[in-house]
Structures are given as structure tokens and as C-alpha cells.
Structure 1
């Protein structure tokens, strides 16, 4: 703002090239206070702060390696744990993760060294071709080396596609620079450079992680252990057949389908068949065959109709902000009981809730885990 208070301007961007983002992918811009100047200073920071090790992530390119299956099989069978099923499963998964992380470091180092060695051989041949013709054997070697280098770099392309979270239009496209740009843009867009803690701008990674840990651990902590119940005889109730169906022993086919779908839970697969019988027809979200956006679309049509017909209307908007983060588990159990869900089903649901733990990802690095008692 100028001194006369008439002219306004805002400069809060740096124009950089894709090469700049490739060299400094964690670069960020911070706008400082204007104070006595007529503009806000902008600070460009290129060096990245260390937020600690990032969380483990499995890449699809690893499945190309022939030895990954034997590695997982050996690590899985190496654990002989005489405990409950969930503890045994956690121990096996932890062992498999450790084996894959160690294998990944070794394989990536070998692949990087092989690619550099092959590229050097190709460069040497091409340099030689500038001064004298290549023999048939050298031409064949160059062809084979280029094919081998392309095969080794294919895994890196798969990783970039997965990191970019973009489904490319042309199957098999290997535009690595495009995916590099998407990955860097996503990283910069979601990066947390600092937080205001007690009125002070904090950029220290440990301070940022501690603040995020404290905020979310308090948010998902139940502070009211005794709440009044919402009871009514008007709630829809499950039939005996539906109750028996959702509590029946899980079949082998159900377990296979849940595992191969990589995320679909057994309980949710059962619940999807009966949830439509106990919720209101006006419920649009999280119900199969219904869309969350149907509500705003219908509301828009009603508003347009009222304007065209010049009818009066009254709109009442209820804000359910942060409802999922403050939902009481005792309330959930009470509602399930009133809808006549069986004790076995309610025990399963309460077991899933009570065993949950969470951590906060700050720039890809997780904080310490904390227990969850609501939400």
C-alpha cells in the first residue's frame, strides 16, 4: 500500500524454471511483515530443513524384480510368534518392512552404478564414432547397452508416476520430466514451512512437529467420559436375518477379496449390504448408489425454481465442521445398540476403534504415534 492509501500491490511469488525446482525441490518463499515499507519483503529459502526419516512406502516398480517375492516370503516366515493374531501380524509386517528397506538400499545402489557405467560405455562409443566408423560388434554392443539402460530406468519412471499420483493418458508413457515436475509441484504445494506458535513464527522442524503432535493428540482425545445419551424408539432397526448375516463367520472368499482389494475392510464389506436399511433416504454421503454432491445440486435446483416462480423460501444451514474429529465412541455404540446391531458386531467395532493409533505427517516425516479415543 502506498503512503496515500490509494495504490495497492501484492508481490508474493518468485518466477523460477523447472531446472531450478529440480535442483532445489524444497525451495520455499516466506512473506515478511511490511512494517514501515511500502511492500512486503519476500525471502527465498533453498536449503531444506530436516524433519526426520520419511514413512515407509512400497513402490510398484519393486514388483518387477524377481527376488522381491522370495525376500518377502523369507522375512514373513522368519517370525515365529506365539501370541495373539494381531500381535503376530504386526511383528511379521514389521520384519518384512525392515527386510524390504535394507534390500531397497542395496538394489538402488547397484542399479544407479550400473546405469552410470552403461551410459559411460555408450558415450565412449559415440565419441569414437565421431572419428572412425564403429564395427558391427560395437554397434551391437551399443544397441544392447541402450536397451539395458532403458530397462533399468523403467523402474525409476514407475516410481515417478506413483509419486506424482497422475494416471497418464497414454499407457507406457515415459515422460520423466513431466512426472518430476508434478512431484516437485505437489511437494512445494503441501509443504509446511512454519507455524505460528504462541504468536511466534516457528520454522524449527522439531517445534513444528511438537505443535502438530500436541494439537492432534488433544483433538482426538476424549475429554468428556460421561455424556448424556440420545435415545429414541423411532430409529430403524436391523432384522434378525441381517444381524445374523453381518455376524456370520468370514468366508475364505471374503478374506481374499479384502486382501486383494488393498484397503477394503471385511467389516465395511458386510456393512454395505445393510446400512441402507437403517439410515434415512435423505442421507446422501457414504452410501452406495448415492452421491455427496447430489445434495448441493438439488438445493441449487430448488433455489433456481424459487427465483423463477418468485416464491419465498427459508434456508437453514447446519455447520457440521470437524464432526468426524469429535465423534464420541460411546455415542456410536449407543446408536448401534438402538438399531439392534448384535453384541458381536459392536465388539468388533469397538475393538477397531480402541486399537487405533495415529501420527501426523509433516513434510513426509511422521511424528510420534498417539492413541485415539474419539473421532
Structure 2
């Protein structure tokens, strides 16, 4: 802690020069040291010039990640400076009580004995007589939550006590084993206690997984320290320990809640009556049949599909239940659930108390101190989610006919990156052509309730009749126009609307546009995000000091002997090729139209309807052009650039300079006729064909795998992967097959000092993979028992490689193996 006399980013200085090189060195020092910068509450700057013309954040606390495990509520507070030019900073724990914790369902409860019976018995016993089916369903959920709270409180107490007793019993048995005072009954008792402890630990790991909100986590992962680290770090980042109210730092929970309530109540209030209304007639609309289809009665099957389309572990609303709960007990609760949803479609409104929601405040910036620094996210209830999902599923069929091409996302077949890419291309085009233009960026969530009569009369003319006047994405919009006297004046427009003149390099939809991609500064945001994901505290928990397997082997596909992680090199190329594919396939998107308008029609995709597809030169049938397959016939061709359509509409020999003779010419003619016998031309447009999967569609995954196969090493034997056993067991078997386990022989080979390379169990042979798993007497006994139970040819399995020994076993059989291993 203390005065480091340097800052980490430009927003930590005001009125003085920012040195990016020093900031990078300081950040590198923090990262390499594995330290975490504690968020600072209160004032933003810790040092100030007496005139307040220069201010910087020079003082901070840098701690190790382990402190969050010991003190989850730790924070730093910047106090008043009084006579000094530095503000004192205080490291302390802040416990704020914002009220009772809402009910939240945890998936580990499914595995507790008696839980299913509790739900069935309780739900069938509820007898609410409300005529409103939605209110009746909500009351049942409320009563069920009360019973679950009481039941799980007792069960958690019993589980905690049971775990403590199991640990004590295991400790006593281990003491007896150490003295050699155990019999077979005691060993069996230890196996039983161990399995019970594993079940309890699995439940805790499931809770940690659900709390951590890690989408890539693996079921059964027991790295609880890693998940605790994620949970504690996220809690520290998301915690609200104070906010500035009228320039005064406030940390009282009641005042904070009232301040946020008033702020968002004003934001979500009904607009004033004097709000301007723009008269606009929509150019697109629905037919009567489409409108009737949208308003049709909802069926129970449609509701069920909507429920199954919702994520199992999404953050719940006020009801507290996840969709995994409703899916598990759909046969019991499904009828009441459908009745509640049908009530909305029957009356067109939610009943009072049934559409309540939580507002979660997510910090938009580091060290959020003002109300505008938080992004509100509404957590709605299950009924609300299903109703919106049903409506969204219905709109999918007609949304293409309603939304214009300027909307770049939330529509199937459109890409959210189209908007930033189009803007970036137009900006570069305007700079290169010295074309005067204007860009007006509007965020409707922050826009003023006013309008001016002057505005954009037309957009930017790119080529011919191609104009782009605006781009939309939900509440963000970009208006584009040409700079002219008849259009608008930037300074006057900015002053009248109340906004500022924008820098030519700005952020749109989270992407910086207007930068030169070759500039390092253009990638600062991405580098910053990657550094946050690759923090040192994660590396120390998950990393290994010895690299046992070459990284290229880990990246290699499983069918080539690797783990199938794949490389970023292949992913990057595959994603870039996706945009090339979009362009050459001419998908009709606004991005493709923009590229063609900016760079000319000479950049074209494959011709359409075979009118311009070249018979001899294009790979329109097979992987090789026909001129290479049939060189003797190509030599006879007079029109070398004849199209496929013209060639197939007549006789193949009509455009030859002479008749086909015997020998090679006759043989190639017969082969060509047989090849074209099954070809028939349709009236559909030509399209490019991706030949990796056989269906002609381009998929990033397939291209990524194809590039990996070309660039990564390949082994003759594929990786044996059994999905019925834990992933870590599969990885262990893979490492054993590669002889990459930390045996004494391998440790000595890598320069690690070991007293002896002899086996620590038998002290008669060298400790290597072959000896430990196939030659050691106890290992042979285990394999023999497995082979007698699962294999007919024991001797063949004993002498094969480890990858061929692992067979598909049931979960109960894995437990037997664990018992033998104990």
C-alpha cells in the first residue's frame, strides 16, 4: 500500500500528462506479482494540487487474491485530505445490510433425499380458490417457497453436522490404520464414509458452480478454491458500498436504496405530455393472415417449448425458481404453469403482483461512484419470461418483413458486428476520398425529450443509388449524412440538442470505429479485457509448474491423439473466412451492399443461375475444373469461357472445332457424358458450396477443425474418450498413454532431484507408467478384477495400451473401481 507515484489508466489523471508507457509498466508489475487492486470507494483521486487544477490517483492498496477468501467484504475508502495534498486511504471490511436475502433455488437440492417427495406432497396439498389462475399459481409458489425454506434450513443443519461427524470418524479410522489395528469391517466402513463425504462435497461444488455463473464450467469439477476465488472476486466487484448523493459520499443502506429508487423511478416514469410526436408511416406491415397467426391462442405444447428454450441456470426473478426446477417437475406443475400463461393471453395483461421484478445494478466502470455508473438489469419472474419467449418465437416468423436492413441485430441471419464494420468502412472511405460527412450518434436511453425541425435531409451517397442514412441497434442509433449548407451545421446542432461534438474515433456497440487497425491503440480495449481474464491469481490456482505435454498436442483433435482444445490461430482464420464467405455468397446484407458500393462491382461473388458460371474453368462439379480433368476435349473447345447454362442447353460437341475422334478423346467424351447425366439446372441462384461437410454450408467449427488438422501435429492412434467417466479421468488416461505422468523416472528426466528412481511401493523396479499400471502386483489385481467383469479376453487387454483398456462402464461400475482404488 502507499503512494506508487503512478497511475494505471488515463482516467486516473486530471489536468496533467498521462504517460502510457509508465502505465503499462505499472500494470505489468501488478499482473506479474499476482496482486489485485482494491476498488476505491469515495473520492476518485487521492492526490490534488492546491489549486485543484491537477489531480491523480497515486495511492492504492495492492493485495494478494487470498485476502478475498479471508475477508470477502474488504474495501478501500478514500477519506478527506484536510491540510495534506494526499487523501488518506483506509482498508477495512464493510458489512452493509440492505435487507433480507431473497429466496433462490439451488440445484443441489435435487440430490437431497426427500426433496422430491416434499415438492409432490406440498404442491398437491395447496388449495387456493382464486378464480384468477395466474394469482393462484403465484400463491402456490409463495407457499412452496416457505416450505422449502424451512425444510432446507433443517437439512443444511443436518448435512453440516453429518459432514463434521464423517470427518471425525475418518480421522479415527485413519489413526487405527496407521497403527495397523483395522479389520475388513473397518475398511468397508471407511469406504461408506468416504462415499458419503464425496456426495456432500459434490453438493457444495454444485452450489459453487451455480454461484460462480461460469458458463464453461464442467460438471463434477472439484476445484472449489478456483470457484470460491471467482465468487469472492465477483462479489467484491459488484458490491455497492456507497454512492455520491449531491456531491456527498453516502454509505448508509437506507439512503442508498432511496437514492437509487428515486433515480430509476424518474427514469422509468411516463414521459411528459408535451413530448414531441413525429408523424411517420411505416413502409412495412403484416398481412391479415400473419396478424391472425400472431394473435392465435397459445397451446400447452407451445408453452412447454418456450420453457425448454429458457436456460436452466439463469438468474431468477422474485419467484426465486430456476427453469431447471420447472423442467424437473413439469408433470406435476406444468398444468398450473400453462394455466397462468394462458391467463395472460386471454386477458392481455399481468395480474397485480405477478409482473414484479428485481433490478440488479451492474457497474459499468471500475470504482463506480455515481448512479449513472450502474447499468440496471431487470430480473423478471418465470411467467413473465415464458410469455415474452412465446411472443418472441412467434415474431421470428415475420420479423424479417418488419425490420429494415439498418437494424443489425436481434434478427435471425443478421450480425451485430455489421453496424460497427459498416461505420468503420464508411469512415475510412470518407477520409480517403476527402468527403465531408456527418455522423450523429444517439443513445435513446440518455436522449433529451426534445426535437428540432432541422435535421438530416438525406444520407451519404456511396455509389449510384446506394444511400445509408442511419443504423439501428436497440437503443443505439447512428445517423449519417453529407456535409452541406442545406443539411445541418455540426456546432449549432450539437448546441441545440445538448450534446458534444464527437471524436472521429468513437465506440459503437462496444467496438472502436475510425481507428487504423494497424495501430496498437486500436486494440487497447481487447488487450485490457484479455489481461483481466488471464489474471495471475487464476494462473496460480489452475496453472502447473511442469509442462508435461506439449501445447500443440493438447490443441490437436481427439481423433489425432490430442484433447481437441483447438488453437486460436485456427479460430481467428475461421472467423475471418466467415466474413469472406458472407461476401462471396452474396447474402444480401447491408454490409455486403456497403462493401460493393464502396469498392466497386468488380468484387463479385459466383455468378447467378449458371448464366456466367464457366463450364471449363469453375469448380461447379467436383473438386477439379473440367479443363484439367478433360484436357483433350478442352483442346477442341472453341469458346473457352462458355457458361454452364449455354453448354448444357445444347449438345456438348456443338462448340467443338471438329468431331470427337477415337482413343483418348472418345474415352473422355464418354466419361464427361456419364458425369453430366445426373446434372439438372434449376431456376435458383448459384451459390458457393463449402465441401467440408457435404451439405454445402459454411460452419466456423468445421473450418477451424480443418485448419487444425493442417497445422497441428497428428498421432497415429486417436485419443480414447469415454463420456461416462469424469473428464479428469479421461485426461489422466491420455497422459498415461503418452507417458506424461509425474513418475520418478519422468521427474528425473526433467531435472527434478529424486532420491531413487525405484518404485516407492515395491522397490524392485523403476517407477514408470508401465510398471505402476500394468506390472505392479496391486495394479494387476485391480485390472484383473475389471477385466473379469467387463472383458472376455483378459490377457489381450492386459497387454494393450491404456487407451484400449478403458471401456464404457456404467456409473455404478465406476464406484466399484473407486472402491478397489481406495
Cα distance change of structure 1 residues 81 and 69 upon mapping to structure 2, 3 Å threshold:
farther
Structure 1 residue 291 corresponds to structure 2 residue 415: yes
Task: For residue 130 of structure 1, give the secondary structure of its aligned residue in structure 2.
Answer: helix
Is the 1:24–1:46 contact (alpha carbons within 8 Å) kept by the matching residues of 2?
A: yes
> Is residue 45 from structure 1 mapped to residue 92 from structure 2 by the alignment?
yes
| Offset at residue 17 of structure 1 (A) | 3.9
Rate the CA distance shift 1:3–1:261 in 2: closer, same or farther, 3 A.
Answer: closer
Per-residue CA deviation, residues 217-251 of structure 1 (Å, 9 max, x unaligned), is: 22212152565543333431111111011011112
Query: How far apart, in 2, do the equivalents of 1:7 and 1:53 lie?
Result: 40
- Residue 73 of structure 1, CA deviation: 2.9
Structure 1 residues 142, 296: CA separation in 2 closer, same or farther (over 3 Å shift)?
same
Q: Does the Cα contact within 8 Å between 1:31 and 1:40 map onto a contact in 2? A: yes
Deviation of the 1:291 alpha carbon: 2.8
Q: Does 1:320 align with 2:443?
A: yes
Deviation at 1:321, TM superposition (A): 4.4
Name 2:134's counterpart in structure 1.
86
Match of 2:269 in 1: 221
Unaligned runs of 5+ in 1: 327-375
Q: Is the 8 A contact 1:219 1:325 kept in 2?
A: no
RMSD (Å) for aligned C-alpha atoms: 2.8
Counterparts of 1:3 and 1:169, CA distance in 2: 49
Query: Separation in 1 of the partners of 2:305 and 2:434?
Result: 52
Q: Does 1:71 align with 2:118?
A: yes
Residues 106-126 of structure 1, C-alpha deviations (whole Å, 9 max, x = no match): 121111111111011011122
Asked if the contact 1:75/1:92 (under 8 Å) is kept, the reply is no
Give the conservation status (yes or no) of the 8 Å contact 2:209–2:217: no
CA contact (8 A) 2:123 2:140 kept: yes
| 2:83 pairs with one of 30, 36, 52 | 36
- Could you tell me how far apart the structure 2 residues matched to 1:7 and 1:238 are? 58
- Are the equivalent residues in 1 in contact too, given 2:109–2:115 (CA < 8 A)? yes
Partner of 2:396: 272
Alpha-carbon distance between aligned partners in 2 of 1:129 and 1:171, rounded to the nearest angstrom: 33
- Provide the C-alpha distance between the structure 2 equivalents of 1:271 and 1:323, rounded to a whole number of angstroms: 28
CA displacement 1:165-193 (0-9 Å, x = unmatched):
11345442110000000000000001011
> What is aligned with 2:17?
none
- Closer, same or farther: CA 119–275 of 1 in aligned 2, 3 Å: same
Contact 2:408 2:416 (C-alpha < 8 Å) held by counterparts: yes
The whole-number CA distance in structure 1 between the counterparts of 2:134 and 2:48 is 65
CA separation of 1:22/1:218 partners in 2, compared to 1, >3 Å: closer, same or farther? same
Contact 2:80 2:88 in 1 (8 A): yes
Residue segments in structure 2 that go unaligned for 5+ positions in a row:
1-46, 311-384, 450-822
The SS at the match of 1:15 is strand
Mapped contact 1:26–1:47 kept (Cα < 8 A): yes
Which of the numbers 159, 172, 191 marks the counterpart of 1:111? 159
Q: Using structure 1 for the length normalisation, give the TM-score.
A: 0.78
Aligned length: 324
Q: Is 1:142–2:190 an aligned residue pair?
A: yes
Choose the corresponding residue for 1:176, options 189, 214, 224.
224
For the Cα contact (< 8 Å) 2:430–2:437, is it kept in 1?
Answer: no
1:187: which partner in 2?
235
1:370 corresponds to? none
Match of 1:56 among 95, 98, 103: 103
Q: What CA deviation, in whole Å up to 9, does each residue of 1:50-70 have, x standing for no partner?
A: 222122211121222353333
Aligned-partner Cα distance in 2 for 1:112–1:89 = 34
Q: CA 1:42/1:321 → structure 2, altered by over 3 Å: closer, same or farther? A: farther
Say whether 1:235 aligns with 2:358. no
For 1:203, the equivalent position in structure 2 comes to 251
Superposed displacement of residue 9, structure 1: 6.2
Which has the larger displacement, 95-104 or 66-75?
66-75
Q: Which protein, 1 or 2, shows the higher relative CO under an 8 Å CA cutoff with sep ≥ 6?
A: 1
Distance in structure 2 (CA, Å) of the matches to 1:227 and 1:251: 40
Mapped to 1, the partners of 2:180 and 2:249 lie a distance apart of: 64
What per-residue deviation string (whole Å, max 9, x for no partner) do you get for residues 41-98 of structure 1?
2111225122221222111212223533332333333132222122112211211222
Given the superposition, is the C-alpha separation of residues 305 and 324 from structure 1 closer, same or farther in structure 2, using an over 3 Å criterion?
closer
Encode CA deviations 1:133-181: one digit per residue, 9 max, x unaligned.
4222222222221111011111110110111111345442110000000
Q: Deviations over 1:241-262 (max 9, x none)?
A: 1101101111222011122333
Distance 1:314 1:79, change over 3 A: farther
Distance 1:295 1:83 in 2: 49
Please state whether the residue corresponding to 1:319 is helix, strand or coil. strand
CA distance 1:301–1:172, shift in 2 (3 Å): farther
- 2:782 is aligned to none
Task: Return the match for 1:159 from 207, 213, 230.
Answer: 207
Larger radius of gyration: 2
Distance 2:89 2:227 in 1: 28
- Deviation for aligned residue 1:7: 11
**TM-score, scaled relative to structure 2:** 0.37
- Cα contact 1:284–1:291 (8 A) shared by 2: yes
Distance 1:70 1:209 in 2: 40
Displacement after TM superposition at 1:194 (Å): 0.6
With over 3 angstroms needed to count, the CA separation of the structure-2 counterparts of 1:240 and 1:310, relative to structure 1, is same
Alignment-derived partner of residue 27 in structure 1: 74
- Decide whether aligned partners of structure 1 residues 255 and 9 sit closer, same or farther in structure 2, where only a CA change above 3 A counts: closer
